[in-house]
Amino acid sequence: MNDLKTGMIFDIERCSMYDGPGIRTTVFLKGCPLSCKWCHNPESQRPLPELAFYSEKCVRCGKCAKICPDVHKLSARTHKVHYQNCKSCGRCAKVCPVHALKLIGKTYQIKEVMDILKKDIPYFRTAGGGLTVSGGEPFSQYIFLKELLQYAKAEDIHTCIETSGFTTREKIDGVLPYTDLFLFDYKVTSPELHRQFTGVDNHIILENFRYLYSCGQAIILRCPIIPGYNDTEDHFRGICDMEKQYPDLAGIEIMPYHSLGKEKAAAVNKPYEVTAPTADDTVKNMWKKQLRTLGASDALLESF
């Protein structure tokens, strides 16, 4: 196996039940061209390793400050991290006895990832699962993505890409022969609001979606709903229109907002402006009522 292709990975989650059909192993690649206000994985946006500090775990033992005094400043009551001085060497995380520090992002060779996947093949066979490549945006590491999919298909592993759709037609064509399913985000209907909330226009994204659909690819449309951002009649109508216009979709999933990203953003010193709590049943039922009024099918309403 050619080990020259490497990828920057921030997590490999085995036995995942939420990233495609069956029991899956999800490989999360680092780096994303979008900057969604509600990003569920804000630690995935930068394409390089970065330090995370979980203040609630810290016991202020001072071991990290001895290793990296320019980064860690401790007092009897506080532990301040000067992220701008961090060189992402990870030495401070290694000496932390309570795992309050973590270096997010590690370089993997294809063989290392395949060794993990091969251990999970028996689960894939019995539960209809496989490999899902997520992120970040998987297409931001296109060469690694394509080769990983190639090797997975050589082992007869079902493959899935979870994507924002913000990439080039050439890269899509490159992975089509090795991808069984796309989990394709549909974030905001309005192009102006899409740019405001994610940092990019949705024109290329929608063009890529239509191209994938025209190729007969299996696609599940994933629709994150964020209170105060895209929980509008315009966007709900857009979701219902997508269901009607593209009847051969493998499915549409409504994904109610979860506030987990806020804690993750704080750990890597990123701003996070969404203040809404995790969507509860009352909010979800209100959204279902709106969607039903706009003509959503029972299958769509049952997707969350």
Q: What are the domain boundaries of the chain? A: 6-46+106-301, 50-104
Q: How far apart are CA 189 and CA 255, in angstroms?
A: 15
Position 190 pLDDT exceeds 70: yes
How far apart, in whole angstroms, are the C-alpha atoms of residue 284 and residue 279?
7
303 confidence band (pLDDT: 50, 70, 90): confident
Separation of alpha carbons 58 and 81, rounded Å: 12
Please give the torsion angle defined by the CA atoms of residues 208, 136, 1 and 176, in that order, rounded to the nearest 10 degrees: -10
Using CA atoms, how far apart are residues 157 and 124, in angstroms rounded to an integer?
Answer: 8
> Which pLDDT score is estimated for 2?
47
For residue 198, report the phi and psi dihedrals to the nearest 5 degrees: -120, -15
Contacts of 12 (CB under 8 A, 6+ apart): 25, 26, 27, 28, 113, 116
pLDDT digits (tens, 9 = 90+) for 11-70: 999 999 999 999 999 999 999 999 999 999 999 999 999 999 999 999 999 999 999 999
Q: At the top level of CATH, which class does the domain 50-104 belong to? A: alpha beta
pTM for the structure as a whole: 0.95
pLDDT mean over 181-191: 98
Q: Does domain 6-46+106-301 have CATH number 3.20.20.70?
A: yes
Residues 38, 274 contacting (CB under 8 angstroms): yes
Q: Is 21 helix (H, G, I), strand (E, B) or coil?
A: coil
Q: 80-126, pLDDT tens digit by residue?
A: 999 999 999 999 999 999 999 999 999 999 999 999 999 999 999 99
Q: Which of 200, 186, 174 is nearest to 245 (CA)?
A: 186
Residue carrying the six token digits 């019995």: 126
**Confidence at residue 192, expressed as pLDDT on a 0 to 100 scale:** 97
Identify which of 298, 286, 234, 219 has the alpha carbon closest to the alpha carbon of residue 256.
286
